[in-house]
Each structure stands twice: as structure tokens, then as C-alpha cells.
């Protein structure tokens, strides 16, 4: 593959989201990412959503641009093959990422015996090595108690997994830079819950609870500490309007024609809605009805013209079907996307990397491989095995 990481080789032992998404990010920028799976596929190989013939679009989405091999991971000979791949010589090789238990033959100490400058990024659930997944991490962070208006409401986006995957990719690049400067390898430990805890701490949630001793209230679809929420239009469409800056707020006021009402409210309350973001939040019960009344009297077409004319930050609520069929951002009008022919499921809209380097050729994103598609190729190219040796491994059901 072409890209800023061309030449780098990463061996990946993974499942689900965090580790595979990190490897995919590296692959889409040119790294040769070789994912190994047990023969027949790992625990995520048939994860929903599935096509009518039970091909996992989830698995394909997370493994674009990689090479795939199938190995009997329970056999000593299969374990030796993976060890040899992960610790193969060369300045751009010797990089291994995994969210499998890094114990026994897959431990850093065991692998490092075969290459002293090995780079290994090991993802765990919690920092102590205990098990956690996105759903169990998120329920402990307090967000389900802040979402909606009643009960516990879990989000459907595996946000911590995705952020963890990108953090793992950064870990690979940071460790590779260190090795290129010092010659030293690294064991990089990354806990999913630490990624989430770092994020909520950055946003002030941990300090808020510790220093203020308060539980943030549920506020439905309003934006905490600012002006922003969903509003229904005359034709039943629903939009999100946001004002987190003075310019955005003055645009909302002008578009909705409520300058007099807002000025009177400021005089009554002593609040400054233009210069103080939090003042808009303090007066939501008075400001929201003004904007809601304006929205209720206009269709989407009418509202969009008025809002755009004032530079208002807004968006339309739409389903995923509408996103794919109507939104130019999710189409080949966006250079990130291309229609790619995937061997097992056919042609569909596929993104390349969102990062765009000026010197990097923006080639069409590659498809996900068939499971084990590159087994023979990798064994020959990376390990230098002969056709006879590879045939013996097939006959012995060590590889597939």
C-alpha cells in the first residue's frame, strides 16, 4: 500500500473494536497490517450486522486494508509461526498489537526472547488486567445517569473502544519513533477503562464530582452549560441548534427574530447572553420557548434558509438510511469515500482515513480481506517458507 506509513509491518492479534480499529488506521496510511485469526475465524468474525448470507459487515468494516491469515493457535507449531511473524527481523518489523490475554507464548517476555527490540501494544480491560468491555466501562462513568430524563440510558456508540483503538495507533507510532532513535523496544500497556477515565477527566467530570461534590442533573437534550437542543419544525422534521459562542448566539437571535425579547429578558434577569455562555444555560427555560415557537412555524426548507443566512450552527436529525441516501458528506462527493468491491459482499461505500496528508496519495480505500486470504503469501514473503513447507502446514491443518 502507499501512504506515509508504507514499509511498516504490524502483526495484529485482535477481536471486536479497540485493537482492530487501531490496526485499520495504520493500514489505511500504508502500513502492512497482518491480522491473524484462529482457523474458521475468531469470536468477532460473525458479529452483526450480517448480510443475508451471514457475512459480517462489522468484521469487514474494521479490517479494511489488512492481510489475513488463519492459524491453529492452539498448536505449538501454529504458535511458533505467529511468534516468528511478530518478531521477524527488519527495521520496520517487530511490531505486535493485541487485545488477547498477553500471557504464556503471547507475553512480551516470551516474544522478546526472539527479538530484543520488539514493540508490543497490549490492550486490556482495566489497568490491573481484569476484564472490561465498552459497555461495562461506560456504565461506571456516570454518563447513563446524565442521558435522557429518566432511568439508565446507555449510548449505542462504543466510544471508548474507538478512542482506545486510536490511542493504540498513537502508541505504536510513539514506540516506533523511540526505537528509531534509541534502538530500544517497548511494552506499551493500554487499558480501555483508563482511556475512558482520561477522557471524562479531560472534560472536567472527575474534578467536578471531587471538588464540588455534586451530581450533574439530567437535562434531556439540552447542552450542559450552553445553549443547544433539538427543536421540532412545522413539517415534523427535527433539528439541532447550537450556540456555544457569541457569534453563534447572535446568529440564532437574528435568524429567529427575537432580539427584542432577548434584550428584555437580559434586562429583567441581569444576565448577558451574548458574552457569557453559561448565562444562556441559566435561562434555558425562557430562551428555549422563543426558539421553539419560531421553529414550530417553519418547515425544514424555510428554517434552513433563515439559519444559513445568519451562519447558525445547526443540523438535521436523520436516520442512517437517510444519511446514506441524502447526505453528500456520506457519498463519493466526499473524497474520503469510494465505492469499493468487497470480495464476499459486493460493492458499497467505503471510507479511507479521515486524516489527509498533503504528500499522501489519496487512493481508493482497500477492501477487507477474506478470512485467511493471505496465509500462503505471508508465510512465503515474511517467513520465507517454501511451497512444500506451506503445503505441509495445510495438510497438517496448522494453517488455512
The pLDDT assigned to 173 comes to 98
Beta strands in the chain (DSSP E): 9-13, 32-38, 67-71, 95-98, 119-124, 186-191, 227-232, 238-243, 313-316, 337-342, 346-351
Residue 171 CA to residue 97 CA, distance in Å, equals: 10
pLDDT mean across residues, the chain: 96
The mean pLDDT of 241-253, rounded to a whole number, is: 97
Candidate list 37, 134, 161, 194, residue with the active-site label: 161
**What is the model's pLDDT at position 1?**
58
Does 376 participate in catalysis according to the annotation?
Answer: no
Under 8 Å between Cβ of 218 and 147: yes
Which residue is associated with the grid cell 432580539?
A: 259
Say which residue the cell 502508541 belongs to.
Answer: 171
User: How much is the average pLDDT of 35-61?
Assistant: 96
pLDDT at 249: 98
Distance separating alpha carbons of residues 162 and 278, to the nearest angstrom:
31
The residue that leads in pLDDT, 344 or 292, is 292
Q: Which pTM value belongs to this model?
A: 0.95
Tally of CB atoms within 10 A around 350: 21
Range scoring the smallest mean pLDDT among 194-198, 231-235, 267-271, 335-339:
335-339
Q: What is the rounded average pLDDT of the residues 240-244?
A: 97
Fold designation for 227-316: formyl-coa transferase, domain 3 (3.30.1540)
| Set of cell numbers at residue 11 | 502483526
What pLDDT is stored for residue 358 in this prediction? 82
Confidence of residue 64 (pLDDT cuts 50, 70, 90): very high
Residue 242 has pLDDT above 90, yes or no: yes
The answer on pLDDT for 212 being more than 80 is yes
Residue range 130-183, pLDDT digits in tens: 999 999 999 999 999 999 998 899 989 999 999 999 999 999 999 999 999 999
Separation of alpha carbons 220 and 209, rounded Å: 20
Query: Computed from CA positions of residues 13, 18, 22, 28, in that sequence, does the dihedral angle turn out positive or negative?
Result: positive
Q: Please report, for the chain, the start and end positions of each structural domain, with discontinuous segments joined by +.
A: 9-200+329-395, 227-316
The tens digit of pLDDT for each residue in 95-116 reads: 999 999 999 999 999 999 999 9
Q: What is the DSSP letter of 104?
A: G
Fold equal for 9-200+329-395 and 227-316: no
Name every residue whose Cβ is closer than 8 Å to that of residue 94 and which is 6 or more positions away in sequence: 86, 87, 88, 115, 117, 118, 119, 185
Question: CATH assignment of 9-200+329-395?
Answer: 3.40.50.10540
Which residues are registered as beta bridge partners of 342?
A: 346
- pLDDT above 90 covers what percent of the chain? 94
Q: Provide the pLDDT confidence category of residue 6 given band limits of 50, 70 and 90.
A: very high
Q: What is the pLDDT of residues 352-392, one digit of tens each?
A: 999 988 876 666 788 999 999 999 999 999 999 999 999 99
C-alpha distances in angstroms, 271 versus 118, 259, 399?
Answer: 59, 14, 70
Give the pLDDT confidence score for residue 126 in this predicted structure: 98
* pLDDT band, very low/low/confident/very high, at 121 (cuts 50, 70, 90): very high
Amino acid at each position: 500500500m502507499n501512504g506515509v506509513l508504507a514499509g511498516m509491518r504490524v502483526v495484529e492479534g485482535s477481536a471486536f473494536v479497540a485493537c482492530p480499529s487501531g490496526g485499520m488506521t495504520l493500514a489505511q496510511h500504508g502500513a502492512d497490517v497482518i491480522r491473524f485469526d484462529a482457523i474458521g475465524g475468531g469470536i468477532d468474525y460473525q458479529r452483526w450486522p450480517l448480510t443475508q448470507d451471514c457475512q459480517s459487515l462489522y468484521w469487514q468494516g474494521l479490517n479494511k486494508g489488512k492481510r489475513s491469515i488463519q492459524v491453529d493457535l492452539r498448536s505449538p507449531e501454529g504458535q511458533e509461526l505467529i511468534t516468528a511473524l511478530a518478531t521477524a527481523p527488519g527495521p520496520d518489523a517487530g511490531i505486535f498489537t493485541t487485545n488477547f490475554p498477553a500471557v504464556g507464548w503471547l507475553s512480551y517476555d516470551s516474544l522478546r526472547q526472539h527479538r530484543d527490540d520488539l514493540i508490543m501494544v497490549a490492550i486490556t480491560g482495566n489497568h490491573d488486567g481484569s476484564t472490561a468491555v465498552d459497555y461495562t466501562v461506560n456504565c461506571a462513568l456516570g454518563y447513563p445517569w446524565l442521558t435522557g430524563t429518566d432511568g439508565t440510558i446507555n449510548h449505542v456508540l462504543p466510544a471508548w473502544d474507538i478512542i482506545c483503538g486510536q490511542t493504540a495507533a498513537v502508541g505504536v507510532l510513539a514506540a516506533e519513533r523511540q526505537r528509531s532513535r534509541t534502538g530500544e523496544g517497548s511494552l506499551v500497556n493500554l487499558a480501555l477503562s483508563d482511556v475512558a477515565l482520561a477522557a471524562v477527566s479531560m472534560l472536567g467530570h472527575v474534578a467536578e464530582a471531587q471538588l464540588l461534590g455534586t451530581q450533574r442533573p439530567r437535562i434531556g437534550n439540552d447542552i450542559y452549560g450552553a445553549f443547544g437542543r433539538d427543536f421540532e419544525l412545522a413539517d415534523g422534521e427535527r433539528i439541532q441548534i447550537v450556540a456555544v459562542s457569541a457569534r453563534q448566539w447572535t446568529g440564532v437571535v437574528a435568524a429567529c427574530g427575537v432580539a427584542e425579547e432577548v434584550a428584555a429578558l437580559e434586562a429583567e434577569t441581569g444576565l448577558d447572553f451574548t458574552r457569557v455562555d453559561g448565562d444562556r444555560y441559566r435561562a434555558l427555560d425562557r430562551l428555549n420557548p422563543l426558539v421553539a415557537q419560531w421553529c414550530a412555524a417553519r418547515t425544514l426548507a424555510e428554517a434552513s434558509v433563515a439559519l444559513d443566512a445568519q451562519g447558525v450552527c445547526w443540523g438535521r436529525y436523520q436516520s442512517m438510511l437517510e444519511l446514506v441516501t441524502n447526505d453528500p458528506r456520506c457519498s463519493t462527493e466526499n473524497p474520503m469515500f469510494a465505492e469499493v468491491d468487497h470480495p464476499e459482499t459486493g460493492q458499497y461505500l467505503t471510507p479511507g482515513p479521515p486524516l489527509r496528508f498533503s504528500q499522501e496519495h489519496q487512493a481508493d480505500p482497500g477492501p477487507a480481506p477474506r478470512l485467511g486470504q493471505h496465509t500462503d503469501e505471508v508465510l512465503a514473503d515474511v517467513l520465507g517458507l517454501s511451497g512444500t513447507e506451506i503445503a505441509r502446514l495445510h495438510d497438517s491443518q496448522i494453517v488455512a
